[in-house]
Amino acid sequence: MQLRIESNIAAVSPTQWNSVSGTEFPFAEHAYLSALEESDCVGEDSGWVPCHLTLWENEQLQGALCLYEKNNGYGEYIFDWGWAKAYEQHGLNYYPKLVSAIPFTPATGRKLLVHPEADTSRVQNKLIEDALACMRERNCSSLHFLFITAEELPIFTARGFLIRNSFQFHWKNNNYRDFGEFLATLKRKRRKEILRERRQIQEQMIKVEVLEGEAILPQHIHDMYHFYLSTTDKKWGQPYLTEDFFHRIHATMRKSMVLFLAYADGECIAGTINFQKGDCLYGRYWGCKRNYRSLHFELCYYQPIEFAIRKGIKLFEAGAQGEHKIQRGFLPELTYSAHWLEHPGFRNSIAKFLEEEKHAIRRGIEEFSPHSPYRESVP
């Protein structure tokens, strides 16, 4: 297999790239990665420098890896600031490092992209070997694969990577016929809270509109971008994404997009962007012009849950963080990342830290069990 390192995703045709990107994860699609690059959301200025790996046989793409050289830890959601500080304290450089992840996107999806007709194990191992070689050629301290799937764990473990655990809160569809049947599985207190919060939307005379595909217009995207900015402003965050990015994904990915928009007195006051692919729904960006009671819960949780039930979608990932999701039907799920530290001393120290962290995370998840919103345990 011939290796090519691409500094721009445009060097690979959308058809070839999407032949390996899979059927469940929209953020690995050519259109999404291209929108990030063409809108300058990634590049030298952001500290995400593309160096994607591609493997070819007879001009057919056999495998690919989204890879970036990083000179900071922003936009990753698996935090290693402490590792960088420890390197610095010992007079070593932690940056640059190599990261395989979807920039600014804390969602789980395959990182080792393999053509369905290729030899999976062979391609996966070759991608890892070439990524390690790339790390060494670029004098990087380390190689990181973030938000990998559980199915990918064995290949990384076998290759000697350190596995790190984290967790998010996900909602699973247990074949509910409607939102009412979902509510019926919850404890009485939680069920009453949700009904009360949804009533507050009606009491404030707020109307919610669900838009898919061609029904999503450029004006809706313009509004959503400004909602996104309002959220980053409130959290003193950095707006990683530009309006150009939002319009590009609208132009190329609208078939995967689902918008939930809220209106009051005829004015669009809030919204969320979600992406659907296969059996999964991913909540991404939210914002609101003013404060309204329970509107965040309605647009970010209840409307997407209703949508998922209606469409038979099995999994809803609503993004990172948020213990408040538990009382609204979400449960903690382990997420995984794989790390290669080239320095043997730091590798050993971080390995010990990760084992302790794994135990702490598992204990933390166990402590959530008594607070489950469900009347009985759910799969």
Q: What is the DSSP string of 161-229?
A: PEEEEEEEEEEE--S-SSHHHHHHTB-HHHHHHHHHHHHHHHHTT-EEEEEEGGG--HHHHHHHHHHHH
Q: Tens of pLDDT along 234-249?
A: 665 678 999 999 999 9
Two structure tokens written together for 225: 């971008």
pLDDT, residue 378, reads 60
pLDDT at residue 308 tops 70: yes
Query: Is-contact 107 271, C-beta < 8 A?
Result: no
Give percent above pLDDT 90 in the chain: 92
Mean of the per-residue pLDDT values of the chain: 95
What is the set of domains in the chain, with CATH numbers?
2-167+333-369 (3.40.630.30), 174-313 (3.40.630.30)
Distance, in Å, from the CA atom of 193 to the CA atom of 51, rounded to the nearest integer, reads 48
In this predicted model, what pLDDT tens digit does every residue of 214-227 receive, in sequence order? Answer: 999 999 999 999 99
Structure tokens at 11: 């060097």
The pLDDT of 66-90, averaged and rounded, is 95
d(CA 95, CA 80): 11
d(CA 269, CA 341): 46
Give the ranges where 286-341 is alpha helix by DSSP (H): 295-297, 303-311
Phi, psi of 293 (to 5 degrees): -65, 125
Place of tokens 């999964």: 280
Q: Which of 230-239, 311-320, 336-345 has the lowest mean pLDDT?
A: 230-239
Token pair of 221 as six digits: 């995207």
Asked if pLDDT for residue 251 goes beyond 70, the answer is yes
What pLDDT digit, counting tens, does each position of 126-174 carry? 999 999 999 999 999 999 999 999 999 999 999 999 999 999 999 999 9
pLDDT of residue 232: 80
In degrees, rounded to 5, the angle at the alpha carbon of residue 143 between the alpha carbons of residues 29 and 249 is 20
Q: Which two tokens mark 62?
A: 């056999």
User: What is the helix (H) or strand (E) element at residue 125, kind and residue range?
Assistant: helix 120-137
Q: In Å, what is the CA distance from 164 to each residue of 28, 78, 321?
A: 22, 9, 17
Residue 29: which of 58, 64, 4 has the closest Cα? Answer: 64
- What pLDDT is attached to residue 376? 81
pLDDT value at residue 236 = 53
- What is the distance in angstroms between the CA of the first residue and the CA of the last residue of the chain? 42
Tens digits of residue pLDDT in 259-272: 999 999 999 999 99
User: In the 8-state DSSP scheme, what is residue 299?
Assistant: I
Q: Which residues of 160-192 are buried (b: 16+ CB within 10 A; e: fewer)?
A: ebbbbbbbbbbbbbeebeebeebbebbeeebbe
Whether the pLDDT of residue 379 is over 60: the answer is no
Q: Which pLDDT does position 75 carry in this prediction?
A: 92
The residue-averaged pLDDT of 182-189 equals: 97
